[in-house]
């Protein structure tokens, strides 16, 4: 392999890349979203400046992704916090738990998604939509929602999916310091909502040191949605450089 070829590598290993060099298109991406109010002091300890907390609302999501270009079939779960940046409302990605190594690698390297290993699932149990998340052998979250109780306005569903997302992008240097430490922004713009429903919901979180979702306790369920979409992810863009600051 010549020097110029090394400089053009997308990722490693050089003979079997950890993920595909493609823009990811999701077909029939299925969401279970549960919005809940939590302890504002707990949020302030986790949400980084310059993001501001306007309402102590968290979204617990489970996403079933059966058809993704380059990545195949996998499931994710995570927590997002309602925030504001320079007057723009959005969500801060706190953590994502994923059952696919290529999806974890690409999400962290190519973008800035805070992904780590986990075992989420999303399925229908009789008249109930059920989402669970396990870390190792232990259950850390159980979400339930009444299955397709009320049709949801498609524009409202699209607004949920297209909310601006903020994340922290870090790249360590060889001496252990940080080479990159940015607040980044992305937003889904190419989305087709195929189905959207709302209904009653419950969420139970269990304490776990390596998957601390319960550190943001459920005080009140605000709303829930079950949405099926096709969409394409957009690249992230830096909006704040912590090292320069």
- Helix and strand totals (H; E) in the chain: 4, 15
* Alpha carbons 209 and 94: distance in angstroms, whole number: 15
- Residue 140 CA to residue 78 CA, distance in Å, equals 11
Judge whether 211 and 134 are in contact, CB under 8 Å.
Answer: no
The alpha helices in 54-208, defined as continuous H runs, are 101-109, 154-161
Residues 148 and 201 sit within 8 Å (Cβ to Cβ): no
Report which of 76, 55, 56, 54 is spatially closest to residue 65, judged by C-alpha positions: 76
- Annotated active-site positions, please? 115
DSSP conformation letters of 60-88: EEEEEEEEETTTEEEEEEEEEEEEEETTE
Average pLDDT of the residues in 126-143 = 98
C-alpha 125 chain-centroid distance:
24
Q: Torsion angle of alpha carbons 211, 218, 142, 154, nearest 10°?
A: -110
Q: What pLDDT score was predicted for residue 23?
A: 87
Q: What is the pLDDT of residue 22?
A: 87
Q: pTM of the predicted model, to two decimals?
A: 0.95
Q: What is the pLDDT of residues 5-16, one digit of tens each?
A: 998 888 999 999
Average pLDDT taken over every residue of the chain: 97
Please state, for a pLDDT cut of 90, what percent of the chain lies above it: 95
Minimal CA–CA distance to 216: which of 61, 90, 36, 33? 36
Contact by Cβ (8 Å): 191, 231 = yes
Spatial separation of the C-alpha atoms in residues 237 and 239, rounded to whole Å: 6
d(CA 1, CA 14): 9
User: How many C-alpha atoms does 211 have within 13 Å on its Cβ side?
Assistant: 23
pLDDT interval class at 183 (50, 70, 90): very high
CB 18 within 8 A of CB 12: yes
């Amino acid at each position: 392999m010549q020097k110029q070829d090394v400089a053009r590598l997308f990722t490693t290993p050089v003979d079997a890349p950890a993920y595909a060099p493609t823009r990811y298109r999701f077909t029939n991406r299925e969401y279970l979203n549960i919005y809940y109010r939590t302890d504002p002091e707990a949020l302030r300890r986790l949400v980084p400046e310059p993001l501001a907390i306007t309402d102590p609302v968290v979204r617990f999501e489970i996403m079933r992704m059966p058809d993704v270009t380059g990545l195949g079939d996998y499931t994710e779960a995570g927590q997002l916090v309602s925030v504001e940046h320079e007057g723009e409302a959005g969500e801060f990605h706190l953590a994502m738990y994923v059952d696919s190594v290529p999806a974890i690698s690409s999400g962290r390297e190519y973008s800035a998604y805070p992904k780590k290993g986990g075992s989420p699932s999303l399925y229908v149990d009789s008249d109930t939509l059920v989402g669970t998340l396990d870390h190792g052998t232990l259950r850390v979250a159980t979400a339930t929602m009444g299955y397709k109780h009320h049709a949801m306005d498609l524009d409202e569903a699209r607004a949920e999916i297209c909310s601006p997302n903020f994340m922290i992008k870090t790249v360590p240097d060889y001496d252990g310091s940080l080479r990159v430490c940015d607040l980044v922004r992305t937003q889904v713009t190419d989305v087709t909502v195929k189905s959207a429903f709302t209904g009653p919901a419950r969420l139970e979180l269990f304490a776990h040191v390596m998957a601390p979702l319960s550190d943001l306790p459920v005080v009140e369920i605000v709303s829930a949605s079950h949405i099926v979409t096709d969409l394409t992810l957009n690249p992230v863009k830096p909006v704040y450089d912590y090292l320069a600051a």
